[in-house]
Amino acid sequence: MADNNNKIPGYVEYLNPKHRYYIVIALNKDLENNIYDCHFFDDNGDIKDGYQGFWFDERIFLLMEKYLFNFIDAECGLLINMYEEEYAEPDILPQILEITNRTINNCDNEEVLKLAKEFRSLVEKAIELKAVVGFCF
């Protein structure tokens, strides 16, 4: 029997439905190096104290890529990609904030809108702290 799931409208086949995509900042400079090593979560996959961020699954990653990450990549010279790590240094965060605000103002997807607002809050906090934003995917 043939698998017809790829013919169902809106169906997405996940590469790894258990994989978590983290966006995180360190709340103090002493912990910031752990962002570059993606050592900010515990054995359960929860973000440790001293860090602020959130995680999402692959389905949400694909939405965020379409609505936000591709624009950040194109305008900021980053490569926010599946199963990769990328880091937004403090000097480009105002530009990322502006791109995120454009996405929020023009978004027609409620899931993306919710996550983009959460991302905006994280970027604003990172600007305040002069912290790097880690995309640990």
Q: pLDDT confidence of 83, banded at 50, 70, 90?
A: confident
User: Domain holding 82: CATH number?
Assistant: 3.40.1760
Tokens matching residue 44: 């359960």
The per-residue pLDDT for range 11-70, each reduced to its tens digit, is 666 667 788 899 999 999 999 999 999 899 898 889 999 999 999 998 899 999 999 999
pTM of the model: 0.86
The per-residue pLDDT for range 114-134, each reduced to its tens digit, is 999 999 999 999 999 999 999
Question: Is residue 103 packed enough to be buried (19+ CB in 10 Å), middle (13-18) or exposed (0-12)?
Answer: buried
d(C-alpha 85, C-alpha 94), whole Å = 20
- pLDDT score recorded for residue 132: 97
Structural domain count, the chain: 1
Domain membership of residue 55 as a residue range:
16-136
Q: Is residue 132 part of a domain?
A: yes
